[in-house]
Amino acid sequence: MLSTLTKTNQLPLAYVCVAGGQTDLVFDGGSMCFNSKGELEQLGKTYEEDFFIYDTEKQYTPILEVEKTVEEEITAALTYGLKEYADKTGFKKALIGLKWGYRLCNCNIHCNPSLWKRKCSCSFNAFSIF
């Protein structure tokens, strides 16, 4: 959609996104900059703070692939959301176990304590019943 807008209007575009968590929402970041031809030229980091400068006069190498797998996105969102929640509420340790039920895909995610830089043990389990 953003690529089409930049091509149609023949103008560069900076799509600026925030990274952070607020109650039940997780904002993933991933700011993007497109040239006037609709090519993605700059891409910010996801699930962490980032800063970069985009010069509309400079030529960049177009970025062709940005999508991660569903598992990578889910892992990043859950880990980041839980970290933000723990930071804001002051939790020092966490042991979280979830079991999701009917018609959900199989999913096992084990958080590494080094991801949070604190003591943490997480296990997310979802079992399909078809």
CB contact set of 63 (below 8 Å; sequence gap of 6+): 40, 41, 42, 43
Q: Could you read off the pLDDT of 20-71 as tens digits, one per residue? A: 877 778 888 889 999 999 999 999 998 888 899 999 999 999 998 887 888 8
Element at 124 (helix H, strand E): strand 121-126
CB contact set of 107 (below 8 Å; sequence gap of 6+): 71, 74, 100, 124, 125, 126
Element at 109 (helix H, strand E): strand 107-110
0.75 exceeded by the pTM?
no
DSSP code at position 20? E
Region at 94 (left for phi over 0; alpha for psi -120 to 50; beta for the rest): beta
Q: Could you read off the pLDDT of 78-110 as tens digits, one per residue? A: 888 888 888 888 887 777 666 655 444 444 444
